[in-house]
Amino acid sequence: MRYLIVSTDQVYAHHVAVQLRSAGRVADVHKDGLLPPPVLRRYLEDYGVDALVLDVSDTGRLAGAGVVRGWRRACGQTLTMMAIHRRDYRLDVPALLAAGADICHDRDEDARIIVARLEAVVRRCQGFSSATLCVPPFSLETDSGTLRAGNERVMLTRMETRVLEVLMRQRGRLVRRNAILLRLRQELPAEGSVHSLDVIIGRLRQKLRSCQPQAGEVIHTRRNMGFMFEVSAAEADVQPVKGRATG
């Protein structure tokens, strides 16, 4: 998943980013103050940001809700937003939530808790209850890279897991090719990244078919645009086939 961190304290923003990156997430830091940039919507769409971490701890008690409200208007209604506040501002948490934050975090608490809280909120907003992504008949264990369908189990590589996770989280919606490449730009080779992504998609299709042949094609290509993970109602109800785990 990808997060955008906004704070006037760059040391704190860096600390939060390190915690997120150590958990295998992508974290971008906005360094131009607390005002939403004019190109924010384009950035959110192109980079596929899953959540915003907005530090309002230095804004003063009355201004925090206004900052949250401004970012909510700029980001739209669907992006998950966490507001960071100071411990002595706890009475302002209801105002931050009413202004558009989905969850609040005490800045004086361990920053590692941010990862767990963000992951939980984002999962629920995307319709998942745990780190295992379930889109019947498939389930993906993101920590281990295990793809399951009934009694079938297939092991995925790290890159295959990352790509399939992006597609499953956005199931039923078009994910632009560029958005996937931007998420994985630090792991794919600079040259030939488009070809590398096509190879990964091809391998995923093969493994999905081997895991559940009756489900048909579930990764659909939109020419010159991107990919969509979609399982029809009939395919979701197929009976699992028995077999051995494959890699």
Is the Cα torsion angle 115, 131, 123, 47 positive or negative in sign? positive
For residue 204, the model assigns a pLDDT of 95
pLDDT at 163: 92
Residue 91 DSSP class: G
Q: What are the C-alpha distances in Å from 9 to residues 14, 18, 58, 114, 230?
A: 9, 14, 8, 17, 41
**Alpha-carbon dihedral 122, 128, 131, 132, rounded to 10 degrees:** -160
> Checking phi first, is residue 115 left (phi over 0); if not, alpha (psi -120 to 50) or beta?
alpha
| Residue 186: predicted pLDDT | 62
pTM listed for this prediction:
0.70
Peptide bond preceding 137: is omega within 30 degrees of 0, i.e. cis?
Answer: yes
Contact (CB, 8 A) for 229 and 205: no
At the top level of CATH, the class of 2-125 is alpha beta
Q: What is the mean pLDDT of each run of 10 residues along the chain (247 residues)?
A: 91 91 86 86 82 89 86 90 85 89 89 84 79 88 88 90 90 87 68 77 92 83 90 56 42
Chain length of the chain? 247
Q: How far apart are alpha carbons 190 and 209 in whole angstroms? A: 30
pLDDT at position 243? 40
Tell me: domain 132-236, CATH 1.10.10.10, correct?
yes
Q: What is the pLDDT of residue 32?
A: 83
Q: Closest Cα partner for 174 from 236, 229, 136?
A: 229
Which residue ranges make up each domain of the chain?
2-125, 132-236
Q: pLDDT at position 241, please?
A: 39
